[in-house]
Amino acid sequence: MSKSRRDLMRVLSKKFPGPEEAAKLLDALPYKDDRSMALVYAGFLDALLEKLIIRKLPHMTPRLEGRLFTERGPLSDFDSKILMAEALRILPDIDFVAPVLNSIKKIRNVFGHSILDVSFETKEISDEIAVHIAPFAITLQKGFIEAAKKQPLTSDTEIQFPGLTSKRAFYFVSSCLCAYLDNTHKEITGAWLLAEYTWS
């Protein structure tokens, strides 16, 4: 029996790109418009969380996976996946990461549903970024700077990060979270979902 157009569209929306295609998509995001960046990063984070949750549920079958993660299943949306990630403790730092994922979800929803010409500089979006995403970005940057200072430098130049705009904070945090979730998947399964060279 052939699949309906609706089923085909559902399958397409759940398809995860291969490592090379994922790397290509992620590498292009800094040069895309704000809406594209927000939607694609949130899509990757949603899909990566889903993959991790599936790995943590010991009796998963294709039928259960379909019922849980599609249509109106209890884990079909980003919010439910964040809650399940917290409940299953699938990430060591989930209490720190969950509020950031929730901010990304809220921003994704605005970009996905608003018919206005919104951007990362739209007040409501930049205010949301200022609450969880920008502080998280600063924390991550400080960690990178401290790690870099422990390594011998090849020049006398200071280690610096460019000014932290709302878009840069969103991009930096989203790319770090993709790497973090992909690395967690690799630790569990031994396989990268995204191209290994993207994060090395």
pLDDT average, residue stretch 42-47: 95
Residue among 157, 162, 98 nearest 133 (CA):
98
Within-domain flag for 99 = yes
- How large a percentage of the chain has pLDDT more than 90? 52
Question: Does a structural domain hold residue 24?
Answer: no
| Distance separating alpha carbons of residues 187 and 125, to the nearest angstrom | 34
Q: What is the pLDDT of residues 119-139, one digit of tens each?
A: 999 999 999 999 999 999 998
Residues 186, 191, 196, 200: is their CA dihedral positive or negative? positive
Say if 20 falls within a structural domain. no
According to the model, what pLDDT value does residue 155 have? 39
In a domain, residue 184? The reply is yes
* Number of domains comprising the chain: 1
Q: Is residue 48 part of a domain?
A: yes
Of the chain, the end-to-end C-alpha distance in Å amounts to: 44
Residue 125 included in any domain: yes
Residue 98 domain-assigned (yes or no): yes
Residue 37, pLDDT above cutoff 90? yes
Q: Kindly state whether residue 17 falls inside one of the protein's structural domains.
A: no
pLDDT higher than 50, residue 153: no
pLDDT at 142: 80
Containing structural domain, residue 122: 35-199
CATH number of the domain enclosing 77: 1.20.120
